[in-house]
Amino acid sequence: MIDGVEEEVDMLDRHLEVLQMVVNNEPIGIVKMSNELGYDHHEIRYSLRILEEENLIEPTQQGAITTDETEAFIENWDEQIDDVRTRLTAMKIGE
């Protein structure tokens, strides 16, 4: 079970790295992100699709760009991580 959680955390980390690349370099394409981050094209493409489904980025002919919702997501990110940490700590204490 822990291995599955670890894989999910790794994938979330990749999604966030891709989002950060878009924020810092928009518009940016798959090839450049793949070269910069060291992930395969299909991994970048998958992360972009997830971010698009969450309405955090949108595709353009020039590459991925942020949306109106991106900034609010980033501002709330620390709070969301703290909530997850609190839940995990509570689970560990309850063992």
Residues whose CB falls within 8 Å of the CB of residue 68, separated by 6 or more in sequence, listed in order: none
Global pTM value: 0.82
Task: Render pLDDT for 1-54 as a digit per residue (tens, 0 to 9).
Answer: 566 777 888 888 899 999 999 999 999 999 999 999 999 999 999 999 999 999
Residue 52's CB is within 10 A of a number of other CB atoms, namely: 14
Tell me if the bond preceding 59 is cis, omega within 30° of 0: no
Whether residue 26 contacts residue 63, with contact meaning beta carbons closer than 8 Å, is answered with: yes
Confidence of residue 93 (pLDDT cuts 50, 70, 90): low
Domains of the chain listed by start with CATH number: 2-69 (1.10.10.10)
Interatomic CA distance for residues 34 and 55, integer angstroms: 21
